[in-house]
Amino acid sequence: MTKILTGGVGKVEVANTVKELGLDGVEVTLSSDMDAAMKLRAGQADYFLGTCHTGAGASLGVLVGLMGQPACHTFGRGVPTADEVDALLADGKKVFGFSMDQIDRIAPLIARAIAARS
């Protein structure tokens, strides 16, 4: 089972969006940033999807500090392609940030790419 944690100001919306996809083998849980970092580091979770109003610093601030920049990527206000998400996952990224107004487009894209890798 692949475990995705959601955090930030839109964590409920992200969790609901991913759950509605009905992806086999994917579990979604709400989390605080600090708890997510600890669970990711301990291997108790696999990915984190964080949101803020701009998709920049606040969506991943704590995670970047505790997990390190190589594990993290923020899309800011941009919307990636499926190929870009696949490349980031292949590169080992586990922590993703994006803006609240992009939840309906980015969360399904990332979740489907994660599910395809499981």
pTM: 0.95
Mean pLDDT of all residues belonging to the chain = 93
Instruction: Give the pLDDT confidence score for residue 90 in this predicted structure.
Output: 97
Q: Which residues, listed in sequence order, are joined to residue 26 by a DSSP beta bridge?
A: 2
Mean pLDDT of 41-64: 86
DSSP string, 8-50: ETTHHHHHHHHHHTT-TTEEEEE--HHHHHHHHHTTS-SEEEE
What's the pLDDT band for 58 if we cut at 50, 70, 90? low
**Rounded Cα distance, 110 and 65, in Å:** 22
The helix/strand/coil state of 115 is helix
**Rounded Cα distance, 68 and 51, in Å:** 18
